[in-house]
Amino acid sequence: SRGRKVLSDGERERLLEAYEGCGLTQKEFCRREGVNYHTFVSWLGQRRKSRDRNGPSHRSDFVEMVVPFGSASESGFELDLGGGLVVRTGDEDALWRLIERIRG
């Protein structure tokens, strides 16, 4: 034996679900659970491909929002999201709706 663990589909799915909510890196999680890192990454890739083909198995929190863009003037509003992403609008209500959506 090469020291391999054979996991059932249910055990594999349990590990993938546990990883999603744990806040650890993939390597940290694998070390903690005693799972080969490369095998685990392969499982994640297979799961992602399956979801891409069959649609997501979970509800997406992404909501498209169109924020009116006014002319850049003193009466405009600006929200700096970091990483070079800035939202500018002349509509204060739209900006507050965006902020509330971001806060969740």
Q: What percent of the chain has pLDDT over 70?
A: 75
Does pTM top 0.75 for this prediction?
A: no
Question: Which residue's structure tokens are 């903690």?
Answer: 32
- What is residue 86's predicted lDDT score, i.e. its pLDDT? 76
Considering the domain architecture, whether residues 48 and 84 belong to the same structural domain is answered as no
Quick one: DSSP state of residue 63? -
Instruction: Give the pLDDT of residue 70.
Output: 53
CA atoms within 13 A on the CB side of 80: 3
Q: Which residues contact 19 (CB under 8 A, 6 or more apart)?
A: 26, 29, 40, 44
Domain that holds residue 28: 9-53
Number of domains the chain contains? 2
- Is 3 a domain residue? no
pLDDT at 69 over 80: no
Q: Are 26 and 37 in contact (CB under 8 A)?
A: yes
The pLDDT, as a whole number, for residue 60 is 54
Q: What is the pLDDT of residue 50?
A: 80
Q: Is residue 69 part of a domain?
A: no
63 domain-assigned: no
Q: What is the pLDDT of residue 95?
A: 78
Is the model's pLDDT at 67 over the cut of 90?
A: no
**Residue 66, domain member (yes or no):** no
